[in-house]
Amino acid sequence: MAVEYNHDLAVSEKFLDTFPALRVALRDQRLIDAFQFYEGEAKKHKRLFHAFGVSSLFLGLITLTAAAVEVMIGQSLSLTIGWGAILVEFGSVASIILVLCSRIGGHRARWCQAVFHRERLRQWHFQKFLDGRLISLLPGRADEFQRELDHRWESLLQGFRDGYGAMCSFADGGSERNDLFHPMTPYSDSSLQTSVLEAMRILRFEHQLGYGKRKIASEGESTSLALAEHASFSETVASTTLAGAVVVGALAFFASLIEIQPSLGGHWNIPVVSRILGGLSLLLAVVSAASRAYRGGFTLPDEMDSYEEYCSRIREFKTVLDSDTSNAEKLRQLEHLETEAILELRRFLRMKLRATFIF
């Protein structure tokens, strides 16, 4: 069965039938349409940013590997493979071209901007359930509810018109109460509030906790690698190759001692051995640096820590929500979750806006 990532917005008819009084508030087709547009934009530009970044890193690695090989063999590759060497050395030029194409296309910024709009739409949708006065209009004054919601929707779209500026202002800001789109006001109908809290427990708390758990899972879905697998593999490669470069460098030191004292060298051709060890050390250091650049481009360590912190906070809020406490206290937990979702989005944008593979 395929995983549905956004069923919290595009809720099923069966779910809506469970909360008939909230049907109009739980599913907003115009919001779903806007969300899907930004979702498509986010996926497209994320894919392009990563494709350009990984390709530029790979091409640069090929060229630097060739340089290390030249050190080991003691001559230019053009003398051994001819025009093939020119193509290999062109890798650095191609790498720079790809980086420039990515920068000109603005794929990193456009990805972040689409994510900002997408997640703020989601937050706008769920934060309205904090406004008890608004939701309390549904049972008998649905037309008044819709007019007020339409007004707030237009205000939201107006704020989106300054897309990149709004995103940067949000990412640079601190935790402000005006990050909440709708005010928190009391419910006049306790039974309606109970229905709201039950719907939010399923759609908001459990959905957000499940999403966070998927992101920090030890194994990825289908054939993709999880964040933990990416982080573990890249760190292993980076640390192992760096340690190898240091060890090989130490061996080169001993080779130099033997070169100074030929009687210790036996039948070894010490100049050739030193050259090979030097080239190998350079090669291992290059691979280590490339792995670190890969981690930086995908923001692997920071992203894992962020999701773990987010999951931990959501668990705390859900524990209180599930306890035998008042509806007013449970509503405060919903406010805490919305505030934490805002902080998580802000952390995400700050991480991704500084992500680079090479420069």
DSSP 198-240: HHHIIIIIIHHHHHHHHHT-SS-STTSPPHHHHHHHHHHHHHH
What is the structure's pLDDT at 250?
86
Chain-centroid distance of CA 282 in Å reads 32
Q: Tell me the two tokens of residue 137.
A: 């209009």
Helices (H) and strands (E) in the chain, counts: 15, 0
Q: How far apart are CA 247 and CA 243, in angstroms?
A: 6
- The residues of the chain scoring below 70 in pLDDT are 1-6, 82, 174-177, 218-226, 256-270
In this structure, are residues 71 and 279 in contact, taking their beta carbons and an 8 Å threshold? yes
Alpha-carbon distance of 354 to 359, in angstroms, equals 10
Helix axes 207-215, 300-322, angle to 10 degrees: 150
Q: What is the pLDDT of residue 101?
A: 94
Instruction: Please report, for residues 129, 155, 202, the alpha-carbon distance to residue 19 in angstroms, rounded to integers and kept in the order given.
Output: 14, 28, 12
Exposure class string for 294-330: b at 16+ Cβ within 10 A, else e: bbbbbbbebbbebbeebbebbeebbeebeeeeebeeb
Tell me how far apart the alpha carbons of residues 319 and 329 are, in angstroms, rounded to a whole number.
12
Instruction: Give long-range contacts, CB 8 A cutoff, 24+ apart: 141-146.
Output: 142/24, 145/24, 145/25, 146/24
pLDDT tens across 212-228, in order?
888 877 665 555 666 77
SS3 call for 27: coil
For residue 131, the 8-state DSSP code is B
On whether the CB atoms of residues 7 and 207 are closer than 8 A, the answer is yes
For the stretch 3-56, pLDDT in tens is 445 679 999 999 999 999 999 999 999 999 999 999 999 999 999 999 999 999
Residue with tokens 């819709």: 146
Q: What is the pLDDT of residue 1?
A: 37
Look up the pTM and report it: 0.89
